[in-house]
Amino acid sequence: MATDGDRPSKTQRKKQVHALQDLGAELVELSAEQLAAIELPESLRDAVEAARRITARGARRRQLQYIGKLMRRVDAGPIRAALAALRARPRG
């Protein structure tokens, strides 16, 4: 049986999953130009673009969950940094 030190708790894992899903939702809300400026794997970019076209609430929620699943397979650090840089830019 695994000990507590071997892996994060279920609550911690759920928080991580929700954080990645929220990060994916931020990607969906970006403009096309902003999204193009961020380096993403093709499968993730396709999923984000698909989510932008979905208007049905339930379908959009499922697509965001799928984006969260894809986000678990990539290093989210560079994506977070790119989003932070976009937020830091003055609008104008």
Question: Model confidence over 2-19: pLDDT tens digits?
Answer: 556 788 999 999 999 999
Distance CA 66, CA 71 (A): 9
Sign of torsion over alpha carbons 61, 64, 70, 72: negative
Q: What is the span of the domain harbouring residue 27?
A: 14-81
Give the pLDDT confidence score for residue 4 in this predicted structure: 61
Task: State which residues of the chain have pLDDT below 70.
Answer: 1-4, 91-92
Residue 7 covered by a domain: no
Give the pLDDT confidence score for residue 2 in this predicted structure: 52
- CATH code of 74's domain: 1.10.60.30
Residue 5 covered by a domain: no
Distance CA 36, CA 84 (A): 15
SS3 78: helix
Contact 68, 21 (CB under 8 A): yes
Give the pLDDT confidence score for residue 92 in this predicted structure: 57
Residue 43 covered by a domain: yes
Give the pLDDT confidence score for residue 6 in this predicted structure: 83
